[in-house]
């Protein structure tokens, strides 16, 4: 009987040590996995954003370079227009016929330059349209990524809330079962004590003819002991399960908090991209205005060329009449 008491006192010690070790190991491994995953996710998002901004800055630099080239060509057109006006003034005042041939060749060269510039402007327009379509496609893709990110965050919030509710319900059920088992263990311990006391009293009063009854009582005591051990094992497994669910809840809340932390960074990146898009649109509007000015200058040059040719024909007619 004293051996039964010693075993009953030493049952819970190794189970408690094993539970503590398992909880510590599972907590450490889950924290390391979560930190690694969040770090990789942050690194991939940062690299993708940097690559996208670098591509946009390169395209903006190319547009600015073409804009400066157009500006220089416009200055050249203005200089040529001044020269043409000077030529017109010379013809109006009384011009020199020897300069007409040189001006005609200059006008021919200028028409060739205008044609090449017109082709260059068309190439710029085509490349700008292609770049604008590409930028719109990238913006739509990025917006889809943001929408999916927000959707996954919302689903994660919902799942975390459901998990928290289920965990609370399961925790309350486990606590209720644990309390019920504790009461059962207490009753069983009292019953064992009563049986031991009654067995000791009966052993003193029994004689040799009551050995079979004593054996039956000992078997009943062994059965009750086994039942108590099974109840304690079930109690320990419920405790482990409760700790695991609590750890999962803590990790889910931590992961949700990290996702909410990264969300402002992504929103700032979207605002930067939209601001860059507005700047590109403004640059495109300036480019279209410059193209319109160049076309107007080209039309004026053609008119001046026609007038010069008419003047040249008139002078040739006058020269032929004088001869």
Domain membership of residue 47 (yes or no) is: no
69 part of a folded domain = no
- Alpha-carbon gap, residue 285 to 27, rounded angstroms: 59
Q: Is residue 104 part of a domain?
A: no
Instruction: Report if residue 272 sits inside a domain.
Output: yes
pLDDT for position 100: 55
Distance in angstroms (rounded) separating the CA atoms of residues 61 and 280: 10
Measured CA to CA, the distance from residue 104 to residue 317 in angstroms comes to 17
Under 8 Å between Cβ of 71 and 290: yes
Range of the domain at 301: 262-306
CA–CA dist 65, 126 (Å, integer): 16
Number of structural domains (the chain) is 1
Question: 191 and 225 in contact (C-beta within 8 Å)?
Answer: no
Predicted pLDDT of residue 99: 57
Cα separation, 25 vs 174, in Å, equals 23
Cα angle: 217, vertex 220, 221; to 5 degrees:
90
pLDDT digit string, tens, across residues 95-111: 545 555 665 666 666 66
pLDDT per residue as tens digits for the range 240-289: 877 787 787 778 777 777 767 777 776 777 777 777 777 777 777 877 87
How far is the C-alpha of 205 from the C-alpha of 209, rounded, in Å? 11
- Please answer whether residues 246 and 168 qualify as being in contact, where contact means their C-beta atoms are separated by less than 8 angstroms: no
For the stretch 59-82, pLDDT in tens is: 767 767 776 777 777 677 677 767
Q: Which of 85, 59, 102, 10 is nearest to 280 (CA)?
A: 59
Q: Is residue 117 part of a domain?
A: no
């Amino acid at each position: 009987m004293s051996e039964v008491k010693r075993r009953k006192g030493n049952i819970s010690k190794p189970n408690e040590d094993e539970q503590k070790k398992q909880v510590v190991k599972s907590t450490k491994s889950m924290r390391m996995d979560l930190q690694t995953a969040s770090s990789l996710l942050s690194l991939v998002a940062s690299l993708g954003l940097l690559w996208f901004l670098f591509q946009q800055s390169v395209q903006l630099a190319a547009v600015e370079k073409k804009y400066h080239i157009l500006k220089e060509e416009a200055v050249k057109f203005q200089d040529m227009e001044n020269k043409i006006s000077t030529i017109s003034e010379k013809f109006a005042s009384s011009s020199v016929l020897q300069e007409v041939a040189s001006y005609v060749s200059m006008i021919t060269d200028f028409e060739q330059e205008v044609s090449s510039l017109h082709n260059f402007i068309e190439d710029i327009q085509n490349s700008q349209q292609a770049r604008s379509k590409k930028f719109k496609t990238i913006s739509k893709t990025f917006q889809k990524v943001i929408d999916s990110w927000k959707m996954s965050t919302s689903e994660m919030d919902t799942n975390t809330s459901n998990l928290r509710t289920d965990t609370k319900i399961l925790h309350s059920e486990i606590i209720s079962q644990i309390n019920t088992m504790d009461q059962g263990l207490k009753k069983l311990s009292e019953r064992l004590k009563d049986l031991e006391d009654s067995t000791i009293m009966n052993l003193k009063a029994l004689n040799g003819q009551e050995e079979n009854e004593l054996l039956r009582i000992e078997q009943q005591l062994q059965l009750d002991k086994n039942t108590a051990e099974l109840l304690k094992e079930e109690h320990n497994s419920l405790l482990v399960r409760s700790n695991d669910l609590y750890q999962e809840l803590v990790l889910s809340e931590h992961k949700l908090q990290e996702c909410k932390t990264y969300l402002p960074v992504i929103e700032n990146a979207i605002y930067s991209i939209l601001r860059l898009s507005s700047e590109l649109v403004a640059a495109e509007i300036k480019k279209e205005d410059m193209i319109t000015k160049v076309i107007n200058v080209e039309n004026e040059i053609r008119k001046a060329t026609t007038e010069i040719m008419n003047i040249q024909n008139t002078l040739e007619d006058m020269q032929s009449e004088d001869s």
